[in-house]
Structures are given as C-alpha cells and as structure tokens.
Structure 1
Amino acid sequence: MSERDEFDAGPSFFGEAKEAGSLKSIKNVQVKAELGARKMLVNTNAEGQFKLPSFGKETVVENVTISCAKEGYRTIDVSRRRMSSAADAPIQIECLLEPKP
C-alpha cells in the first residue's frame, strides 16, 4: 500500500469556523486534529473552511481530538457530524468562536 492510499482511506474531516452570534465565517483559524501522538494542522481559508486528510482506514473517529484556535478569539464549541453511517464517511466539523473581550 502506498502512502497516498493510506491517506485516501478512512474518514476525513472538513468544516468551517464561525463567529458565535453572527455566524460569520472566520479565516486563518488553526484547526488541529490529534490521534495519539499524530497531529495534523491546517488553517481555514478565506471562506472560513478547511479540510483534513484521514488518519487511515483503521481510525476510530471518536478517538480523534479536534480543536480550533485563533489569536483574539475564544473557542466556544467544536461539533462534529458524520455524513453517513459508512465507516469511512467524512466528518463535518463546526468550530464556534467568539472574540475575546
């Protein structure tokens, strides 16, 4: 199995970061996915969206920790929703942040 195949198999994560209240998209939010000692980091794009590759087909989604952070903001909630009951179904993540007072 090639390295490329390994990352194509299994559940991937995608979603967006929004400001609480206004639900305005927030760009340049750092999204971190952790599975044991393995970590992946991405930043949201200009539309506040991001995509993370899979950790592999053996991944148990509940064991992956997702966090969102941006300077000047506080994370309120990180929700996840599986797009179907398939084991490798993508997981939608929504990061809700609010400006720090």
Structure 2
Amino acid sequence: MPYHSSPLDLAFHALSDPTRRAVVSRLRQGELPVSALAAPFDMALPSFSQHLKVLEECGLIVSEKRGRSRWCRLVPERFDAAANWMDTERRRAAERLDRLETYLDRT
C-alpha cells in the first residue's frame, strides 16, 4: 500500500471498509474461525480472505492455524492510536466551539 505508511494510516484504511468493520465488530465477542467470520457475507472465501489480510497487515487482528481451521482475534492495543487521534481531534473541535461561543457572547 504505497499511500498508507504510518500505523494510523493503515488502521484507518482498514477500517474504512464496511466489511472489515463488521469483522472487527464480530471479533469483539472473541476469536472465531475464518469460516464463521465469512458466513454472513455474500462473497467468495478468497475475496473475504483479502479483507482479513488487510486487517492483519495493519495489526488490528492476528490469525493462527489450528488443525484445518484458521482462527482470528483482535489485537485491542492496535486500536489505541486511532482512538487517541480521534480523542485529540474531538478535544480540539470542542475547544474551537468554546472559543466561538465566548466570542459570540462578547459581541
């Protein structure tokens, strides 16, 4: 991915797709085999595996082979950078609105 270099860029890129966000939501309940993750989606397993590859390459999930199945689980700490960035931006926006409110109250 030539346009996504930082871990934050990779995380937001991975989470920009609704299929990948749905996978993350399902994995919040715990690890699952790929077959169970893929079941609700109307796509071929190789196409679904590409979504898992994106999530795994950016470190949001890890997978391991167990017998004949591949199991996936979240790596919760990898979401911290995105959460911290969003918290910082939310605080900045709130501060700007507070300054605007103060300005409007004075005028």
More helix by share: 2
Higher RCO (CA-CA < 8 Å; seq separation 6+): 1
More strand by share: 1
